[in-house]
Amino acid sequence: MDGPISDLEKGMMCRIAGYAELRTAVADAVDSRIEDPATWLDTGCGTGGSIRLSAERHPETHFTLADPSEENLSKAEESVGASDSVAAPTHLIDLPDGSFDVITSILSNHYYSDKEEKRKAVSNCCRMLRDGGVLVIVEHTVHPEDQDSCDREWAAYMRDKGLPEDRIAEMFERRNTVYFPMTEDDLKALILSCGFSKAEVFWRSCSDVGIAAVKRFYLHSTD
């Protein structure tokens, strides 16, 4: 699992403020909410870098990876050592109800331009989680109260990582054209509307936010 870092991961380290710390934060967010998960789905997995640490911590866990890109899946399977993979975006993953203890979606759902399609993606995650299962989402976010300050901090981070000015400008141009961020409060509200009992921020930076949610317990009919 300690293989070479992919070009995708190298790029994310330069563009996502605090990306190295994020991977630890994701693993800790899960571990503080559920003990010894048996099954784990990572949607929009990319090349697997976001959950590699989690896979190292949980060698007995059955990991399933999902991504629209077959090339990414191939690299992620090698990196994470996953048991299964699915070539599909989050809202189209067709796996059984209640089949996962944990689902992670790291820096992928913000590419949904349509809010209702994003809601379908989160609802599909809820469907595939068991009652009491944990969803961890990380997305680009916006800060209406202090956007200029956050953008300056983000630009300084990218500059410090060696990105040229044209690439930094491109990242800001992608906002609401390539990726479609929501405010922290709006994202929490969307998650709660999809069948989760709580949604808590576990990590934030000038550019992104991480939210952990727990699926509601439902009374199932015995008829």
Report pLDDT for 75. 87
Q: Let me know if residue 223 belongs to a domain.
A: no
User: In which domain, by residue range, is 182 found?
Assistant: 16-38+49-215
Per-residue confidence (pLDDT) for residue 50, from 0 to 100: 87
Residue 2, in any domain of the structure? no
Write the CATH number for 113. Answer: 3.40.50.150
Determine the pLDDT at residue 121.
96
pLDDT reported for residue 79 = 83
Report yes or no on 7 lying in a domain: no
Instruction: Map the chain to HEC letters.
Output: CCCCCCHHHHHHHHHCCCHHHHHHHHHHHHHCCCCCCCEEEEECCCCCHHHHHHHHHCCCCEEEEECCCHHHHHHHHHHHHCCEEECCCHHHCCCCCCCEEEEEEECCHHHCCCHHHHHHHHHHHHHHEEEEEEEEEEEEEECCCCHHHHHHHHHHHHHHCCCCHHHHHHHHHCECCCECCEEHHHHHHHHHHCCEEEEEEEEECCCEEEEEEEECCCCCCCC
Q: For residue 134, what pLDDT is reported?
A: 98
- Domains in the chain: how many in total? 1
Residue 10 resides in a domain: no
Task: State the 10-residue block means of pLDDT for the chain, 223 residues long.
Answer: 63 89 94 95 91 92 94 88 88 97 95 94 97 97 94 97 96 95 96 95 96 82 45
Is the residue at 44 inside a domain? no
Q: At what angle do helices 165-173 and 147-160 cross, to 10 degrees?
A: 140
- pLDDT value for 2: 45
